[in-house]
Structure 1
Amino acid sequence: MHLLVRENRTLDEQDQAEDLGLPPADLVVLSFTESDLLGLSHAYNQRVTENPLVQTPSLQLTHLARLRHPMSIDLYIDTTLQQARCVVVRLLGGLDYWRYGAEELAGWCRANKVPLALLPGECAQTLKTSPNQQADDPRLAELSSVEPEKRKRLIEFFRQGGPRNMACALHLMGTMAGLEIDDGAQPEPVPAWGVYRTFAAQLGPHKGAQPGRASNPLTPQSIDAAGGSPPQTCGAAYVPCSAVLPKGLTTRAVLLFYRAHLLVSDHTALEVFAQSLAAHGCAVDMVFVTSLKEVEVAKGVAAYLAQVQPDCVLNGTVFSSKNQQGYSPLVQSGVPVFQLLQPGSTQALWQQSARGLTRADLAMQTVLPELDGSISTFPLSFRQQATPGHPAARVPYAPGIALTVARIMGWLRLRCLTSAQRKIGLVVSDYPGAGLAQESGHVAHAVGLDTFASLCSIQHILQNDGYKTGTLLPRAALVAALAKSPCQPFLSLAEYQQLATRLEPAFMASVQAAWGPPEHDKMVQNGQFCHRVVVQEHLTIAVQPDRGQAADRKALYHDPDSPPATLMWRFTSGYSMCKN
């Protein structure tokens, strides 16, 4: 089973006492894993929402990572536990990870006749893959004061996880507190993989879409959508014409995400994302998995993809999707695979960092998936800024969702077009070179490679595949056009003004402050931006524009604090949107 990255805690991370100041409650639950706390929090909120007129026992959830110091534990017992009717502690790692707290809690509960359940923290998947792992810790059982049968059921409710089991665990704790009647509910296992829910495309049917389709019969078990978080809207977002599907067509995607997120009901951002894709004409099947490296899971996912034949795969798992033999059910699907990005930090920390992603996120969610051939996307969610001692759920990031939807829909639009309808742009580098004139660089330079020969080969490949490439230029003609010929007009000032209205005002202000008004740009001639561009019907070949001014090429080329020059951003964003 995949455990959420933020779960494991140790005792030596903090050595200062603190008073969490958490209010007392009928039911008090403490755990080292946010999975437990998030799952119970969702179950409690769901119960209150569905039964507003029914008296529900109050609940206090606390992360044991904030209760490592003995004085912190004493303060917690003296304040938060004073009205407790039942206390549950789930210890990942066993008694030795929190011995002082467990023994003090047991003494207080005995003295005050409060039921106490100390539970081992290992999940069902860990026990399955580690035969030597004990299912229970007799020392924890000895310190507990609840009935053994109820404690055993509570252990399994937590081990299996999921909305239904967490709701049952909450009710069982209420019966231990003497506030509710035991209904005898038993734990139910959650399969290693399955279809969670389907979002139907909101446009007309297309050969690859089955709007409103029920869960696939290959799936071992389907999870009721009612158990998940209600999707939210991510707000209206501009989607370029290159990301709009042809009229009357829809597409289909399969979104893979970790079962661990389903078990704790921490997948709201993915539902928001899937709902947004569906609104743009892409049906989405959300499929949960423990790990793509498990043999049976990989086989099941491969069979599912082969049957539904999606237009793309959206991968919400991390690391490489390949096993030790190099096999990946995603790569074998033969469709584009997009790597979904969910950083482990808060949005504030992400924005403050010059790098953005942490090393772990870069490695697990960007580098390794790219080695598999996956296409990178943008952040869909961030961790919530939580109160000390409380679990931190993920919250959707609307701008990242909008950008990711636009990128995916652009690729899906291409899949709906024939080769003759597609328009291709090839951009070659113009890197600053030592000893060269300041106004030029190494056009199409690659050490040990012949870029212009590659361009010629690409032209022939595209033409043979049915693309409209016009008259193919030989190598010498391409060199002359891209390195020696005068610049050609490619974007008018009027088209630029139209593009500028779709971008952030702050960004446009920074560009103008750094490089002046567009009409004063040295590359503007007769109201047109000019550049070294070759247009052959639906094939465009161009040289990368300067990121800054030619006189400061080396100093500004990789300066992250300088906004891109006027021509640079107009070319990269404007040409594709207005011309192609």
Structure 2
Amino acid sequence: MHRIAATPGGWNPQAEGVIFIEQTPAPIIFLTAADTDIQTLAAAVNKLPFDFPQLRVANLLHLQQQLTIDTYADDILSKAKVIIVRLLGGRSYWSYGLEVLLEAIEKEGAKLIVIPGDNRPYPDLISHSNVSISLVNQFWQYLIEGGVDNFVNGLKFIANICLGKDYDFALPIPVSRVGIYPWQKEEQTTKAKIGILFYRAHYLSGNVAPIDALCQALIEKNLEPVPVFVSSPRDVEVQGEILEYFQPENAEAIQLLLNTTSFAVSVVNNQDFALEKSPNPPLLRQGKNLDIPVLQVIFSGGNFEQWESQFQGLSPRDVAMNIALPEVDGNIISRAISFKAVQTWNSDLETDVISYFPVQDRIEFVSELAANWIKLRQTPASQRRIALILANYPNRDGRLANGVGLDTPASCVEILQALQQAGYYLENIP
């Protein structure tokens, strides 16, 4: 049994059968795990010269099974003259695919350009390229800056260097790493400002329907959204700028942050602990520096139909990237408000263009949750009602609220005392 690669979100290991990517060969092949790259390429291909070499694009999430990779290599990669791979996370995330690629280019003599999916250098990954490091770095810079114009110029640059073309092209155009999303807000008196943090790649590719819907839902709750795009919230260089947008000197600061970015801002290791003790520690946690709650709002990497039909809900990848790791930062998990869906089929690239689509009832839930957190924040501590919930595992009563290596009762007493010192009304603390 085999299936065509048409499922938004990539290969599902629980599904039966093997995925095959149905494409025709082309001189240039672009492989990426980022749907935003594909969205940008779909727009860029319309701005390329009429005689530009044909380009095919495939999502690496569909190239996860060995038979799929082998078949694609035989049918498509072996006939290419330039192969571009943009891989997020390093060599280990697609090690078999890289091995097959190296065999293919050794036989056919194609140019191979392997670059990271973000702006962090991975020398081991880049070293798989068989072109000069200067060429790799310049092309990588086009993709780091992002946007349709940079992708167009980057492709022209590659065609000139690798295929002997002579197109006019510009150097990479710098694009701000962080900035306010120019959402058209309604003029009205609002209760409070709510920050929204989302990836710059969505802004540059126009993949902003969930952000627009979330902003509108907050407006309807009499809250003012402050949507800010960022290349990566883990970049210490841009964290100060994020704080300036959310906590300006001459304007009201946000009272709640809705974070849609994945992973964790802080990295728990010995180096970080040393950094936090230094006189000028990096801005590791946005909520900690702003002194506000942070709600984690999930952009699922899967599609709505799979999520709705499967008992487990979100995929293990979604749980790791958008729940488990953000909890390291102390983020409060809310809901998945958007899922991937096929926007259109691009006949030039011979691939589906995938985008996020918002789910309105879940957006309404998050906006209502945000309004409730603002209400709680504005309620005096002495009037707040807090529940302390302890685990009750299904064994004997002596295990009530147990934690391996932890003194749970003592921890509870410490928490109650801290709440009392913070102004909460408590009596009869043990």
TM-score normalised by length of structure 2: 0.63
Corresponding residue for residue 310 of structure 2? 353
Corresponding residue for residue 62 of structure 1? 58
One-letter code aligned to 1:120: V
Higher relative contact order (CA 8 A, sep 6+): 2
SS at match of 1:167: helix
Contact 2:262 2:322 in 1 (8 A): yes
Corresponding residue for residue 112 of structure 2? 118
Corresponding residue for residue 170 of structure 2? 185
Paired with 2:100 and 2:147, the residues of 1 have a C-alpha distance of 31
Q: Deviations over 1:449-501 (max 9, x none)?
A: 999xx8xx99x9679xxxxxxxx9x99xxxxxxxxxxxxxxxxxxxxxxxxxx
Paired with 2:86 and 2:140, the residues of 1 have a C-alpha distance of 11
Q: Deviations over 1:550-573 (max 9, x none)?
A: xxxxxxxxxxxxxxxxxxxxxxxx
One-letter code aligned to 2:57: L
Corresponding residue for residue 403 of structure 1? 365
Contact 1:154 1:172 in 2 (8 A): yes
Contact 2:82 2:111 in 1 (8 A): yes
Corresponding residue for residue 563 of structure 1? none
- Contiguous gaps of at least 5 residues in structure 2: 1-7, 12-16, 277-283, 395-407
168 and 198 in structure 1: CA distance in 2 versus 1, 3 angstrom threshold: same
Contact 2:36 2:201 in 1 (8 A): no
Corresponding residue for residue 277 of structure 1? 218
SS at match of 2:224: strand
Paired with 1:278 and 1:74, the residues of 2 have a C-alpha distance of 53
Q: Deviations over 1:363-408 (max 9, x none)?
A: 5533554565533311112233699976754332232222112221
SS at match of 1:199: coil
Paired with 2:65 and 2:84, the residues of 1 have a C-alpha distance of 12
Corresponding residue for residue 402 of structure 2? none
Residues 379-528 of structure 1: pairs in structure 2 closer than 5 A: 379-384=336-341, 392-412=354-374
Residues 241-252 of structure 1: pairs in structure 2 closer than 5 A: 248-252=189-193
Contact 1:39 1:263 in 2 (8 A): no
Corresponding residue for residue 217 of structure 1? none
Corresponding residue for residue 158 of structure 1? 143
Paired with 2:166 and 2:220, the residues of 1 have a C-alpha distance of 44
Give the fraction of aligned pairs with identical amino acids, expressed as a percent: 19
SS at match of 1:384: strand
Paired with 1:404 and 1:75, the residues of 2 have a C-alpha distance of 46
Contact 2:302 2:340 in 1 (8 A): yes
Contact 2:105 2:111 in 1 (8 A): no
Alpha-carbon distance, 1:186 to partner: 0.8
Alpha-carbon distance, 1:119 to partner: 0.8
Contact 1:62 1:391 in 2 (8 A): no
Corresponding residue for residue 332 of structure 2? 375
Contact 2:42 2:353 in 1 (8 A): no
Alpha-carbon distance, 1:99 to partner: 5.0
* 1:42 partnered with 2:36: no
Corresponding residue for residue 131 of structure 2? 141
Between structure 1 and structure 2, the one with the greater Rg is 1
Paired with 2:330 and 2:204, the residues of 1 have a C-alpha distance of 29
RMSD: 5.3
One-letter code aligned to 1:316: T
Paired with 2:356 and 2:265, the residues of 1 have a C-alpha distance of 23
Find 2:230's aligned residue among 268, 272, 289: 289
Find 1:298's aligned residue among 224, 232, 239: 239
Paired with 2:151 and 2:199, the residues of 1 have a C-alpha distance of 18
Corresponding residue for residue 443 of structure 1? none
Contact 2:36 2:202 in 1 (8 A): no
Corresponding residue for residue 562 of structure 1? none
